[in-house]
Amino acid sequence: MQIDRTISLLKQGKHITEDAVYALCLKSQELLMTEANVTHVDTPVTICGDIHGQLHDLLTLFDKSGGVEKTRYVFLGDFVDRGFYSLESFLLLICYKLKYPDRITLIRGNHETRQITKVYGFYDEIMRKYGNSNVWRYCCEVFDYLSLGAIINNNIFCVHGGLSPDVNTIEEIRAIDRKQEVPHEGAMCDLLWSDPDDVEKWSLSPRGAGFVFGQNEVNQFLHTNKVELIARAHQLVMEGYKEMFDGGLVTVWSAPNYCYRCGNVAAVLRIEDDLQRNYTIFDAVQPQDGVGNAIIPTKKSQMDYFL
């Protein structure tokens, strides 16, 4: 299959045949199954938060941060749902992963599941574009092989959601059987669903999955695992990023004007060789010629659990 031609089509939001998607998904599974639950990544590297199917903003992200030809990236999950180009966004990242396997690390988010994508747009998008659910099934099988986290220079732990009361060490994450639909509870679920907040101790998350954790839990995790930063996504941040707990945790959000209506800016975080943090802020693509915001939304109403 011609990966460069596929990348060109995807960047234009053009239709990819079902057979081509199947071949892509198969190849990416073969590659992803060789990666550990927690992938080792070297600096310099750029950390990216939720994308949520906003293809044109993803292209802006690459444009503003150096591009995959020259830059190493960690994407913290939630590639699909909400936006109207979930398929193209996810397939573009998969194509880049196949072409530059050492430059792109893809971590699973809570939206990379069968159950969530049935509700928040990805399944409907594929039914609209293909008239059947085959492509959705192919992509869901790839989701099952995505890593649960990454460790940068043995110093920065990357995860989609957050911590778990069932996980004390990064080694324990390596022992999880990740090749499955995300369970409703337990360590794997918590890593994808939990959120930080100013709380004294673990409490159940209002999202209905995962936990809320505070500075004590973060400090304990950093100390036990000899790391100095937890980088995560999962929560809308109007300013694009938010550091908490004396800089021990950062939330990075990379979907500007989320859901085409939230009005937020987006950010990516570049980690240099000396572990210095540099944030790049960018705005949403302005609607023009049928791209950006000028898209017909899915008709199915969507629950706003993120607000």
Give DSSP secondary structure letters for 144-159.
TTSBSEEEETTTEEE-
CA distance 90 to 139: 9
- Strands of the sheet containing 203-204, edge to edge, are 195-196, 211-213, 203-204
Correct CATH for 2-282 of 3.30.565.10, 2.160.10.10, 3.60.21.10, 3.40.980.10: 3.60.21.10
pLDDT score at 271: 98
Catalytic residue of the set 15, 40, 52, 111: 111
Cα-Cα end-to-end distance for the chain: 41
SS3 category, 70: coil
Cα 45 from Cα 151, distance rounded (Å)? 11
Taking only the tens of pLDDT, the chain with its 307 residues reads: 599 999 999 999 999 999 999 999 999 999 999 999 999 999 999 999 999 999 999 999 999 999 999 999 999 999 999 999 999 999 999 999 999 999 999 999 999 999 999 999 999 999 999 999 999 999 999 999 999 999 999 999 999 999 999 999 999 999 999 999 999 999 999 999 999 999 999 999 999 999 999 999 999 999 999 999 999 999 999 999 999 999 999 999 999 999 999 999 999 999 999 999 999 999 999 755 444 444 444 434 444 444 3
Output the CA torsion 72→76→78→83 (10° steps): -50
In the chain, DSSP finds a helix count (H) and a strand count (E) of 10, 14
**Which two structure tokens, joined as six digits, stand for 258?**
């989320």
Burial class (CB in 10 A: 0-12, 13-18, 19+), 22: middle
Active site residue 56: no
**Is 160 in contact with 234 (CB distance < 8 Å)?**
yes
The closest alpha carbon to 52, from 304, 252, 279, 253, belongs to 253
Give residue 172's pLDDT.
Answer: 98
Residue 19 CA, distance from chain mean position? 25
Q: How many CB atoms lie within 10 A of CB 133?
A: 13
> Please, are residues 140 and 114 in contact by the beta-carbon 8 Å criterion?
yes
DSSP 211: E
**pTM of the entire predicted model:** 0.94
- Report which DSSP code applies to 260: G
Query: In this predicted structure, what is the pLDDT of residue 1?
Result: 59
- The answer to whether the beta carbons of residues 142 and 91 sit under 8 Å apart is no
Find the Cα–Cα–Cα–Cα dihedral 189, 142, 221, 176, rounded to 10°.
Answer: 70
**Domain definitions of the chain by residue range:** 2-282
